[in-house]
Amino acid sequence: MKRWVGWRKKLIFFALLPAVCIGLTTCGGGGSSSSSSSPPPPVSNSQPIEVDLGPANNYVNGLFTSVTVCAPGTSNCQTIPDVLVDTGSEGLRLLSSAVTLSLPAETDGNSNDLQECMSFADGSYLWGPVATADVQLAGEKASSVPIQIVSANPSYAVPSQCTSGGGSNENTVASLGANGILGIGNFRHDCGTACTSSSTAPALYYLCPNSVCGAVTVGLTAQVQNPVWLFSRDNNGVLISLPSVSATGAPTVAGTLIFGIGTQSDNALGSAVIYTTDSSGNFQATYNGIAYSNSYIDSGSNALYFLDHNTLGIPDCSDNPGWYCPSSTVSYTVTNTGLNGATGPVSFNIANADSLFSSNGGNNAAFNDLGGDSGTSTSSDYFDFGIPFFYGRNVFVGINGQPGPNGSVGPYWAY
């Protein structure tokens, strides 16, 4: 009952102040509100983001924001806080435990709900149905967007293909460390054309007639997708702007998520250089004369994951394998090269992860010098520029097929 009351309060709030507050994530926080008699401000294309320990109070370098979802075409809305901002995936995925709103399911002609298994490189996965919602971010709105609802209590047994990565079903706040994932990466759809043909479709989408789940093909419009490209404007990408942090870290870092690239006064490219990516979102990072072509930038990665401790000559942490623990901070410079030939250096530091984790009594969440192994040897290595890369930078994410400034077309990064 309490949940229902909370939902109702939000509904009334939105109904009272639609012009001022729809989609403004700060509205749900109960802060001071502007007078309803003043003229409505221009529709905003920016909203706050924050690095903090997250809702499970243990996430390092997690970038979070709030997302408002509404039943399509209605003012029945709910603002969900603590959603992870992920430029390494596409589409909104929300824990069922965080969603009190009733959203229509995507179904086939026989009323079977479409299910999805979203797998991650660490072996974990998200399993649950695809629903349709209007998604509001800042003053922007995408209508009838397919999103994934990650089931706390799945209606159907998780298919064995879905568990074949070996990791956990991250269907709780404790396991995911967030209320959901907002995938706003370089692409429009989470799967794309591969999922539209039975000869190329991976086991990503499922139908479960008679409670037996089998993988199916899904057309583009029904796929879970990046809500940004469905906005009526400011729809060619996003800008993530985070300030610098000190070498020992910070408990929180507040920044801004801005929609559109070169579409308004607050999202001009300025001096940022465009690095186009391949069709998978990767570019080349060169270190010590070796080019690592599967490299990428990813706000959903919580550290700088690159090379391996043997190649670098610095130790892994003894108690935290996979994290780097140099005895003193080490500086690196890498040269990134886009598919368009744009090239430029990136410099960063790697500090002792054990020292970082224990700094400030273990209360720091944001570190610009946290690193770990990406592979086990030169042959499997790459650079994954996670959240530390974003501190002190404006990072633009260009969406595939969407025209940007100076004749550019996504997928690209610019910084």
Give the footprint of other proteins on residues 289-328 (CB under 8 A).
294, 296, 298, 300-303, 305, 321-322
For residue 349, the minimal CB distance to other proteins (Å) is: 18
Of residues 225 through 254, those in contact with other proteins by CB under 8 A are none
Query: Residue 136: enclosing H or E segment and its boundaries?
Result: strand 125-137
Q: Which of 55, 49, 83, 68 is nearest to 10 (CA)?
A: 68
Contact 170, 117 (CB under 8 A): no
If one asks whether residue 204 binds other proteins (CB under 8 A), the answer comes out as yes
Cβ of 38: how many Cβ atoms within 10 Å? 8
If one asks whether residue 339 binds other proteins (CB under 8 A), the answer comes out as no
Contact 112, 208 (CB under 8 A): yes
If one asks whether residue 143 binds other proteins (CB under 8 A), the answer comes out as no
Residue type, 64: F
Residue from 50, 52, 82, 86 in contact with other proteins (CB under 8 A): 86
For residue 315, the minimal CB distance to other proteins (Å) is: 13
If one asks whether residue 216 binds other proteins (CB under 8 A), the answer comes out as yes
Alpha-carbon gap, residue 141 to 138, rounded angstroms: 8
CA distances from 325 to 95, 188, 314, 350, 352 (A): 34, 38, 7, 8, 4
Residue from 207, 208, 253, 356 in contact with other proteins (CB under 8 A): 207
Contact 182, 269 (CB under 8 A): no
Residue from 6, 40, 202, 392 in contact with other proteins (CB under 8 A): 202
Residue whose CB is less far from other proteins, 243 or 375: 375
If one asks whether residue 28 binds other proteins (CB under 8 A), the answer comes out as no
Q: Which of 81, 78, 58 is nearest to 70 (CA)?
A: 78
For residue 283, the minimal CB distance to other proteins (Å) is: 11
Alpha-carbon gap, residue 305 to 386, rounded angstroms: 7
Residue whose CB is less far from other proteins, 108 or 244: 108
If one asks whether residue 102 binds other proteins (CB under 8 A), the answer comes out as no
For residue 20, the minimal CB distance to other proteins (Å) is: 31
Radius of gyration over alpha carbons of the chain, in Å?
21
Residues sharing a CB contact under 8 Å with residue 1, sequence separation 6 or more, in sequence order: none
Residue whose CB is less far from other proteins, 44 or 217: 217
For residue 270, the minimal CB distance to other proteins (Å) is: 27
For residue 404, the minimal CB distance to other proteins (Å) is: 20
If one asks whether residue 372 binds other proteins (CB under 8 A), the answer comes out as yes
Tokens of residue 242, six digits: 């985070």
Tokens of residue 408, six digits: 């550019």
Number of helices (H), then strands (E), belonging to the chain: the values are 6, 22
For residue 123, the minimal CB distance to other proteins (Å) is: 4
If one asks whether residue 107 binds other proteins (CB under 8 A), the answer comes out as yes
Of residues 116 through 135, those in contact with other proteins by CB under 8 A are 118-124, 132
If one asks whether residue 140 binds other proteins (CB under 8 A), the answer comes out as no
Contact 103, 211 (CB under 8 A): no
Residue from 74, 252, 329, 377 in contact with other proteins (CB under 8 A): 377
Sheet holding 343-350, edge to edge: 343-350, 330-337, 283-287, 290-297, 383-385, 304-306, 371-372
Residue whose CB is less far from other proteins, 27 or 126: 126
Q: Which stretch binds other proteins (CB under 8 A): 172-180, 249-257, 262-270, 334-342?
A: 172-180
Residue whose CB is less far from other proteins, 26 or 161: 161
For residue 308, the minimal CB distance to other proteins (Å) is: 8
Contact 340, 279 (CB under 8 A): no
For residue 381, the minimal CB distance to other proteins (Å) is: 9
Q: Which stretch binds other proteins (CB under 8 A): 13-21, 58-66, 235-243, 268-276?
A: 58-66
Residue from 80, 85, 176, 307 in contact with other proteins (CB under 8 A): 176
Residue whose CB is less far from other proteins, 210 or 265: 210
Tokens of residue 128, six digits: 């649950």
Tokens of residue 400, six digits: 């595939």
For residue 28, what is the DSSP state? G
Pairing between strand 62-70 and 46-52? antiparallel
Residue whose CB is less far from other proteins, 257 or 353: 353
CA distances from 118 to 84, 132, 176, 198, 354 (A): 15, 17, 13, 18, 31
For residue 355, the minimal CB distance to other proteins (Å) is: 17
